[in-house]
Structure 1
Amino acid sequence: MAQLYYKYGTMNSGKSFEIIKVAHNYEEQGKRVLIYSPSFSARGDQELVGSRVGFERAAIPVYEQTDLFESVKSHLTTAGIKEIYCVLIDEAQFLKKHHILELTRVVDEMNIPVMAFGLKNDFQNQLFEGSYNLLVQADKIEEIKTICWYCDRKATMVIRFRDGKPVNAGEQIQIGGNEDYKPVCRRCYNQAFNDVQPSAE
């Protein structure tokens, strides 16, 4: 039976690389997969799943109004032959509640496994809408681990930086790289704000 998987990790934990690897393993056996990624642009019909080690894959963009169940359905043949062996979701924390419920229908009604990869908590340690609903709905939940930027403990949180200083206020969604976010353990997260006065954006 197909299942909904939620694989979460902090930044730099290799989530996007894992998607590319899973897709390759299926496709090497001649099994078709679909890759989706939330879009922050109203234009274009293709997004890229890119890992920090340099690999990229094309992905189908997901907009707020996208119905993921209908999108997956549209990729199946009219004869009803199962061509899709897995659905992969990048940056799943940015999905809306209705997207997650649509993915449960893909699993339960189409019997297609769905693997969603993303962050669990934001820079203020609040759950994203997508991650909250995946924690509620997923059949299997797995942590993808990485180490703290500053020590050798497991990273479980993310610090956002502005002008080189940690901040704990601002919009939840702000796209950025290593200069803007760093994965950290709880101790280093708390220490960052004990050492300096938290600044507001």
Structure 2
Amino acid sequence: MAKLYFYYASMNAGKSSHLLQADFNYRERGMRTMLWTAALDSRSAGMVRSRIGLESEAQRFTPATDLWSTINAAHKVEPLDCVLVDEAQFLTPDQVWQLARLADEGGIPVLCYGLRTDFQGALFPGSAVLLGIADALVELKAVCHCGRKATMNLRVDAEGQAVRQEAQTEIGGNDRYVALCRRHFSAALAG
């Protein structure tokens, strides 16, 4: 039976490289995969890219993308063995349910990778639904500067100061976000 998986972590935990390794493992065995990433992330330009230099082409989803119809149509033409979704925090709740349907009715394993929380510690809507309905939850680990597990994403400005109030989503990498343990995250927001 196919399952819906959610691999989640803070920034810099290797989510994209883990996705690309899983994709490689399927393809090395002659299996067919389909990769997706958020169109919102303008840095990706239709690619899943890891910070360690791995990359692969991917379909791009927007909030209007009907993942069930699009993926199911492709699956009918040439069967898919796995669907992999990067930046899964940007999925809508309906899209998460569509991916669950692909696993349940289509028999296609779906591996989603994304952030659990935003820069204020709040769940992203897509992540909230994935945490609620995924068959398997896997936390990938990042490390805070103190050596503890990093679970939070601190947004910083150009001077490296904590940002406390802005829109939930702002695309950026190491220039805009720092992965921290909860203790150092809370201290940065308080300071």
TM-score range, shorter-chain basis? over 0.9
> Within 2, Cα distance between the matches of 1:41 and 1:162?
19
> Within 1, Cα distance between the matches of 2:178 and 2:116?
14
Could you tell me which residue of structure 2 aligns to residue 73 of structure 1?
A: 72
Q: TM-score, normalised by structure 2?
A: 0.94
Q: Does residue 1:55 correspond to 2:54, yes or no?
A: yes
Could you tell me which residue of structure 1 aligns to residue 170 of structure 2?
A: 174
Secondary structure in 2 aligned to 1:75? Answer: helix
Q: TM-score, normalised by structure 1?
A: 0.90
Letter of the 1:151 counterpart: C
Letter of the 1:184 counterpart: L
Number of aligned residue pairs: 188
Larger radius of gyration: 1
Q: Does residue 1:185 correspond to 2:177, yes or no?
A: no
Letter of the 1:9 counterpart: A
Could you tell me which residue of structure 2 aligns to residue 107 of structure 1?
A: 103
Letter of the 2:188 counterpart: A
> Within 2, Cα distance between the matches of 1:131 and 1:189?
20
Could you tell me which residue of structure 2 aligns to residue 32 of structure 1?
A: 32
Letter of the 2:107 counterpart: N
Superposed CA deviations along residues 30-71 of structure 1, whole A, max 9, x for unmatched, are: 0000101111289xxx61100000111101010111111111
Could you tell me which residue of structure 1 aligns to residue 131 of structure 2?
A: 135
> Within 2, Cα distance between the matches of 1:28 and 1:144?
23
Secondary structure in 2 aligned to 1:22? Answer: helix
Secondary structure in 1 aligned to 2:111? Answer: strand
> Within 2, Cα distance between the matches of 1:193 and 1:16?
27
> Within 1, Cα distance between the matches of 2:99 and 2:16?
19
Give the unaligned 5+ runs of structure 1. 197-201
Q: Does residue 1:9 correspond to 2:15, yes or no?
A: no
Q: CA RMSD in A?
A: 1.4
Could you tell me which residue of structure 2 aligns to residue 158 of structure 1?
A: 153
Could you tell me which residue of structure 1 aligns to residue 112 of structure 2?
A: 116
